[in-house]
Amino acid sequence: MRIIETIDEVRQALSTSKGTIGVVPTMGYLHPGHVSLIERARQACDCVVVTIFVNPLQFGPNEDYDRYPRDLKRDAQLAEQAGADFLFTPSVEEMYPRPNQVGLTVRGLSDKLCGASRPGHFDGVATVVTKLFHIIQPSHAYFGQKDAQQLAIIQCMVEDLNLPISIVPCPTLREADGLAMSSRNVYLSEEERKQAPILYQSLLDVTKALDQGAFSHASEVVNSIHEMFKQAPLGDIDYVEAFTYPDLQPIENLSDQPIIIALAVRFGKTRLIDNVIWSRKEESPCFEQ
């Protein structure tokens, strides 16, 4: 595996690549969820590029940009073991040599869920992902289902801008107790870590109830999850929402249309997210129920 730090060098290196190029964009501090994306790309593509870039544009004031966990040596080992051909690790100065004069603005899809409490976040995500797509020019890009709103926005961006890239959604990987794998999990204290699995457990409980016909309204789903969080007093709910998926439209009366049930919860200074996508139909677009 070759580690590359500059745009010119990675473009030159990829200019001779033949066949399909798969990219796995990350902010580093890789965990098995990231590794599964790399392995998925390795199975399908002739060349695999992993990018590591902690993007300042997607962090708001008082967020964790400066303390976001970083360990490039460990990341390089994991990426190589998973089958990456190139690891692209640009600096902020390389990606943004001057303050951006032009960037992308996301409308509609970004004004709810994480976008509601992190204004400008998805503008930063869309801008940096577009830059990476233009630099790498992949045929396929791999993203995890855990960040379902991000996934929906990137899929929409690719369609709206006619980018010749196939976006490949991949299932959320979880710890043995169900907690979604995340680089931010390292922030959790011992007691916070014990309570954090309530995110996924609450989602499992409401989807089982939905399968049994216990709820007919989205508000009942949301209220049920709020009630369950009384078992985890350290968890401060940012949001619990149910929307249609992938267009993220409000819904009250549940039907056969797929819905996303998503939540964000703070444990101390650590903000965790999770979701499931549910449908009454036998063939659902979700990866996990």
- Looking at the annotation, which residues are catalytic? 34
Q: Is 121 annotated as a binding residue?
A: no
Convert the chain into a string of H (helix), E (strand) and C (coil).
CEEECCHHHHHHHHCCCCCCEEEEEECCCCCHHHHHHHHHHHHHCCEEEEEECCCHHHCCCCCCCCCCCCCHHHHHHHHHHHCCCEEECCCHHHHCCCCCCCCCCCCCCCCCCHHHHCCCHHHHHHHHHHHHHHHHCCCEEEEEHHHHHHHHHHHHHHHHCCCCCEEEEECCCECCCCCECCHHHHHCCHHHHHHCCHHHHHHHHHHHHHHCCCCCEHHHHHHHHHHHHHHCCCEEEEEEEEEECCCCCECCECCCCCEEEEEEEEECCEEEEEEEEECCCCCCCCCCC
Q: Is 103 annotated as a binding residue?
A: no
Q: Is 146 annotated as a binding residue?
A: yes
Q: Is 32 annotated as a binding residue?
A: yes
Q: Is 228 annotated as a binding residue?
A: no
Beta strand 270-278 pairing with 259-267: antiparallel
CA angle 60, 110, 286 (to 5 degrees): 115
Q: Is 184 annotated as a binding residue?
A: yes
Q: Is 144 annotated as a binding residue?
A: yes
Q: Is 147 annotated as a binding residue?
A: yes
Q: Is 183 annotated as a binding residue?
A: yes
Q: Is 134 annotated as a binding residue?
A: no
Q: Is 157 annotated as a binding residue?
A: no
Q: Is 219 annotated as a binding residue?
A: no
Q: Is 33 annotated as a binding residue?
A: yes
**Which residues does the annotation place in the binding site for beta-alanine?**
58
**Which residues does the annotation place in the binding site for (R)-pantoate?**
58, 150
**Which residues does the annotation place in the binding site?**
27-34, 58, 144-147, 150, 173, 181-184
**Which residues does the annotation place in the binding site for ATP?**
27-34, 144-147, 173, 181-184
